[in-house]
Copies of this chain bind each other. A is one copy, B any other.
Amino acid sequence: MTLNVKKIAVLTSGGDSPGMNAALRSVVRTCAYYHVQCVGIYRGYQGMIEGDFKELNARSVNNIVNKGGTILKSARSQEFRTTEGREKAHENLKEHGIEAFVVIGGDGSFTGAMIFNEEYGFPVMGIPGTIDNDIYGTNFTLGFDTALNTVVEAIDKIRDTASSHNRLFFVEVMGRDVGHIALNAGVGAGAEEILIPEEDLGLGRLLESLKRSKLSGKSSSIVVVAEGDKIGKNVFELKEYVEENMPDYDVRVSVLGHMQRGGSPSCFDRVLASRMGVKAVESILEGKTNYMVGVVNNKMALTPLEKAIKGHSSIDTELLRVSDIMTT
């Protein structure tokens, strides 16, 4: 360890996700372990600009490993997109003697960090915190596993009422550009059909699939739809379309919404967060910065921030195939 670094800052940025607090705790405790000072920055980059800083020690993060949300709060900052904003931020960091920062967030947050690094040569480090699992360089983002459990628990409840009434439900889950949540939670919840942005099933095949499912004797159907699905209709339009074409079907819609972002993190996410926080701080102390920490094949791995941002997290085609077989 190059213990020349004396002070590190940490912030959470962008949409929050379960496990952010656990990652924050890990960053703070790892700093304490190596006798490095740690500063928490509130409200993401906006707080960096406004100097909303607070010293954090090992005890500051007691009893947060299991809390959803982020005690540092998060925000999207327009001002950080301006040269002036970033200049103010840089001055604040310098003034406080901060030598590097760890940002817990998604794509957008990493882009901000990268630009900041390019402009000021300021060492940065990223921890992927988002429920969407849409980041290149890690098999799992923080919060993904928890969100999957939240979704399958909700669908399990919907299934209770669906099968009591022989109904068809369209359940919309998060995922604007990627279908990871829809695909995994769909398989987990035993969905009869899964609609994701990566694949355009087509309305015709959807109808066919639903008819086949009904013929096969299933008493209810759940179709999981990712927000950003490309079938060309939103869940409410899908409902109307199916009702017109399968008039004997009682169709309902459920949009799971923001509850997917909250909740106490799963053990998986807590452990992942703990590992990522250690890796982020130790990397900085070893002089390796401007990377994103990830887990690749069960091992901690570093990916240059630029690659993490530009890379593409593709859908698991084997799981797509499993999904097809499961709906036999």
Contacts and interface: CB of A to CB of B under 8 A. Distances in A.
B259 A157 contact: yes
Contacts of A148: 266-268
Q: Is the interface of A mostly helix, strand, loop or mixed?
A: helix
A156 B58 contact: no
A271 B184 contact: yes
Contacts of A101: none
Contact of A216 (B58, B185, B216, B300): B58
B318 A275 contact: yes
Contacts of A29: 325-326, 328
Nearest to A299: B318
A190 interface: yes
Interface residues of A, number: 87
Given A188-B271, A267-B149, A258 B62 contact: no
Contacts of A326: 25-26, 29, 274
Interface stretch (A64-72, A114-122, A239-247, A306-314): A64-72
27 contacts: A16-B164, A26-B322, A33-B325, A59-B217, A63-B163, A65-B188, A65-B190, A69-B159, A70-B164, A73-B164, A149-B268, A154-B259, A157-B260, A158-B257, A159-B262, A160-B262, A161-B261, A161-B262, A184-B267, A187-B274, A188-B267, A188-B268, A188-B270, A254-B257, A274-B326, A275-B318, A297-B297
Interface of A: 12, 15-16, 18, 20, 25-26, 29-30, 32-33, 58-59, 62-63, 65-70, 73-75, 139, 145, 148-154, 156-166, 169, 184-185, 187-190, 216-219, 252-255, 257-264, 266-268, 270-271, 274-275, 278, 297-300, 318-319, 321-323, 325-326, 328
